[in-house]
Structure 1
Amino acid sequence: MPQVLEFKLPDLGEGLTEAEIVRWLVEVGDVVAIDQPVVEVETAKAMVEVPCPYGGVVTARFGEEGTELPVGAPLLTVAVGSTEGDLSGDLSGKGAVGAESSGNVLVGYGTGAPAARRRRVRPEAILAAVAAPAVQPDTVPLVVPASARGPVPLPVPDEVSGPVAVVSPLVRRLARQHDLDLRQLTGSGRDGLILRSDVESAIRAAASGTVGSTVEPSVPAPASVSVSRAAPVSPSVAGERIPLRGVRGAVADKLARSRREIPDATCWVDADATELMAARAAMNGAGGPAAGPKVSVLALLARICTAALARFPELNSTVDLEAREIVRLPAVHLGFAAQTERGLVVPVVRDAQSRNAESIGAEIGRLTEAARTGTLTPAELTGGTFTLNNYGVFGVDGSTPIINHPEAAMLGVGRIVPKPWVHRGELAVRQVVQLSLTFDHRVCDGGTAGGFLRYVADCVEQPALLLRTL
């Protein structure tokens, strides 16, 4: 007899505690193979697919697209294993579905096995094959389609007393903003699910003083539950409301924490980058097409940063507040800011101190492409020890960067533009860039920060200085 196993949202690692369902890759009744991706979720770090460790028939899904789930919440249930053939005569073409599990449930770290072709199983076949299995610690009762056994009670958050047929957080938020009691609405969706259109109809009906078809005032509303929330913005305040979640929410939390915990200071300097640009042109022009990919300005600046951090290791550190200690870090994991359609992300070049400019440039290129396509893994977005922020690509000269918590410093780079400059005692037009360093004043004083920034500027102005550290 098949068992029905519950698959929960796994521990995502990297400090991630929740994820938003973006797209279901399977439906109830589909046959899934072990380690087949079943849902695409968006975490605060990346968009990833979740592989299911069980092989069998999907019997239930928990959460609609757009729903945020905490780690440990049920994702779906799968009927696995059979002692009398498969659930539909032959689910896989090779006999019964085995009650096996791979154990590979970490988001973003699948086995790399090809996804199985989607197949469907008739609900009546599932009912015939599974006869009320006993509930075990790792199993749940089989959930079958509503057409086979009636309405399915929808999951209800703890803050609501009594069942409310709403799963979308957007619908709940819209109702809260207009003081609308969802218990007085009858949904037009499947199994009475309350849709956004139902809420909007009720809002229009309330505004016009009439009762819409979805409002049932005869149904008494249960006593309201007192919930502790931050004071909401008055509904009379007009404007578009954009949820702070996913990448945007994670960035907001990190920036707020940085400002709250880190006593930062910023120093800056203008540098003549003419020689750096000439050196780059010489590198990219030597050897012709067989010389390999072009070296970018960002790669050269990253290599300068690793050389500077070798001289001023105080800035490659973090602060342990509980132990009241400064932790000097042995490796330079260099983050760089990248703007994507999903928001600002900071991919990390691992062990940048052991790479040359060409190697750093190649890794920056790979990570940038992954950021644009949304395929960065959580591991590629965390663990940085120092960040390089090239805001010059936005056409601005200067900025005061916010430190990427829990790091100790960030180097900002403005645009490189022709400006009047005194060069060898004469006024000339040179390629000038503004460099700014924001640093944690707990890890060092201004003398160290100024020394770091001055060394970076000297290398920009005289790239030959790097030869001493190569």
Structure 2
Amino acid sequence: MPQVFEFRLPDLGEGLTEAEIVRWLVEVGEVVAIDQPVVEVETAKAMVEVPCPYGGVVTARFGEEGTELPVGAPLLTVAVGSEDPSGRTAESGSGTGAAEAESSGSGNVLVGYGTGAPPVRRRRVRPEGLVAPATAATPATAPAPAAPPAFVPAVPVTPVAAAPVAAATVPEEARGPVAVVSPLVRKLARQHDLDLRQLAGSGPAGLILRADVESAIRSGATAPQKAEEPSRTSGERVPLRGVRGAVADKLARSRREIPDATCWVDADATELMAARAAMNGDGGPGAGPKVSVLALLARICTAALARYPELNSTVDQEAREIVRLSGVHLGFAAQTERGLVVPVVRDAQARNTESIGAEITRLTEAARTGTLKPAELTGGTFTLNNYGVFGVDGSTPIINHPEAAMLGVGRIVPKPWVHEGELAVRRVVQLSLTFDHRVCDGGTAGGFLRYVADCVEQPALLLRML
């Protein structure tokens, strides 16, 4: 007799509590192997393919593409020990069936489940074949788990396709003044000043679902507006979630907590561009990878931070201390279809220009394809922002919290410039430094920026640091 196991959205690490379904990788009725990726989700950090720890036949999927689920919510159910259409027996491991699934891990290493981790709570059903009607409830007499799960309660959702799913009553947390179990539903209602007590839920036992809140928002059932105020319910609404939502939260926090200031300077980048051309040569025999302007500027930043370590720091507000960091983990801003991300080059102070350039190239490609790992987007200590690629000269960027400074680089363009006492056309760039005024004063910030500008104008200065 096959057993049906429920696979829930695992803990994806980095303190992430929710993820959005981007693309399903399996269909209902399809046979999956242990640790086979079954769904692609987007977190506030990156795109992640989630492997399933069970092997068997997929009997249900939960959530349409674009649905946002909290950690612990059901993703799909898998019938272990059943036969697929080709007559093969679907098993959960290399053993003989479901019994082994209860006692052994899958071997995957995603945070929150896998080998060495306690198994998630599973429910057994008695499917009649594989065509039992799908419901979203569990008998009230179902035994309680031996220990409470380590994640938030699952959100009752409707399967994408009909398949045998165990029944579940509305959890105890949903009973009370407001029948809501999902923290996402409560958050959405708060954002739109919506009183949940005024809504009638369409879920089991009157449970208020996300669809109920979204419907109320569309119909204008939010807090009443003053007659003289223009209506704000029209126009396009873009949800602040995923990468865009995480960036919005971080930037808002930076503005609230960091007393920032900005200084800038124009620099003659003619010699830097000439040095880059000489380093790249003509691409003949023996020529290495092309050195980018961003790689050169990143190397200049590490040299400047060695002279001005105050800017490679963070502020511990609770302890009221400035923490100066030994390693330079250099972030660089990268614009993608999913929004702005800041990949991090680890231990940039120990790399030469070529090594930094190779890592920037790798991380940029991963950002474009959405395959950056969460660890590659966190832990930065200083950020380099090349907004010149957008055709602009200057900017006053917001510091990437909890860092202490960001160097901005404008476009490099020919301009009239006094060179060696004569007017000439030179390649000029505007450099700006936004810094946390708590970690240093303007003299230190100005010294850092002037050193960067001097290295841009006279690349030979870097020879002492290479």
Give the TM-score band, short-chain normalised. 0.7 to 0.9
Q: How many angstroms apart in 1 are the aligned matches of 2:340 and 2:177?
A: 35
Contact 1:269 1:457 in 2 (8 A): yes
- Other-structure match for 2:129: 125
Output the CA distance in 1 between the equivalents of 2:302 and 2:334: 19
CA distance in 2 between counterparts of 1:440 and 1:451 reads 15
In structure 1, distance between residues paired with 2:67 and 2:171 = 11
1:66-94 CA distance string (max 9 Å, x none): 221122223233343x5xx8688632499
Partner of 1:267: 263
The 1:326–1:347 alpha-carbon spacing in structure 2 relative to 1, beyond 3 Å, is same
1:184–1:253 CA distance, 2 compared to 1 (3 A): closer
Question: 2:47 corresponds to which residue?
Answer: 47
CA shift, 1:327, in A, is 1.0
2:419 aligns with 423
Q: Matches of residues 229-244 of structure 1 in structure 2 within 5 Å? A: 237-244=233-240
Report the counterpart of residue 9 of structure 1 in structure 2.
9
Residue 437 of structure 1 aligns to a residue whose secondary structure is strand
Distance 1:49 1:148 in 2: 25
Q: How many residues align?
A: 420
AA partner of residue 78 (structure 2)? V
- Secondary structure of the residue aligned to 1:358 is helix
Q: Please give the secondary structure, in 1, of the residue aligned with 2:19.
A: strand
Describe the shift of the 1:230–1:447 C-alpha distance in structure 2 as closer, same or farther (beyond 3 A): farther
Confirm or deny: 8 A CA contact 2:131 2:163 kept in the other structure. Answer: no
**Conserved in 2, the CA contact under 8 Å of 1:48 and 1:107?**
no
Which ranges of structure 2 fall in alignment gaps of 5 or more residues? 116-126, 133-138, 204-208
The superposition leaves residues 142-163 of structure 1 with CA deviations (integer Å, 9 ceiling, x where unpaired) of x998587999999999599569
Structural mapping, 1:37-186, within 5 Å: 37-80=37-80, 82=81, 90-92=88-90, 96=97, 98-99=100-101, 100-102=104-106, 104=108, 106=110, 124-126=128-130, 136-137=145-146
**TM-score, structure 2 length as denominator?**
0.76
The corresponding residue for 1:381 is 377
Aligned pairs (5 A) from 1:243-262: 243-262=239-258
Deviates more, 1:151-160 or 1:456-465: 151-160
Q: Is the 8 A contact 2:130 2:163 kept in 1?
A: no
In the superposition, relative to structure 1, how do residues 427 and 161 fare at CA in structure 2: closer, same or farther (>3 Å)?
Answer: same
Measured in 1, the distance between the counterparts of 2:379 and 2:239 equals: 27
Secondary structure of the corresponding residue to residue 442 of structure 1: coil
RMSD: 4.5
Deviations 1:257-312 (A, max 9, x none): 00000011101000000000010011011672431211010000000000001111
Residues 239 and 306 (structure 1), Cα distance of their counterparts in 2 relative to 1, 3 Å cut: same
Normalised by the length of structure 1, the TM-score is 0.76
Percent of aligned pairs with the same amino acid: 76
Q: What is the match of residue 321 of structure 2?
A: 325
Q: Partners in 1 of 2:275 and 2:313 — Cα distance?
A: 31
Contact 1:54 1:101 in 2 (8 A): no
Among candidates 289, 306, 310, match of residue 310 of structure 1: 306
Unaligned runs of 5+ in 1: 112-122, 187-192, 207-223
Q: Which residue of 2 aligns with 1:214?
A: none
Alpha-carbon distance change, 460 to 161 in structure 1, aligned in 2, over 3 angstroms: same
Which residue number in structure 2 is paired with residue 342 of structure 1? Answer: 338
Spell out, residue by residue over 1:16-35, the C-alpha distance to the aligned partner (whole angstroms, 9 max, x if none).
22111112223343332211
Task: Name the amino acid aligned to 1:50.
Answer: V
Instruction: Return the letter of the residue paired with 1:403.
Output: I
Q: Name the amino acid aligned to 1:58.
A: V
SS of the residue 1:291 aligns to: coil
The residue matched to 2:456 in structure 1 has which SS? helix
- 1:86–1:96 contact (8 Å) kept in structure 2: no
Counterpart Cα distance in 2 of 1:261 and 1:23: 37
**What is the CA-CA distance between 1:435 and the residue it aligns to?**
0.2
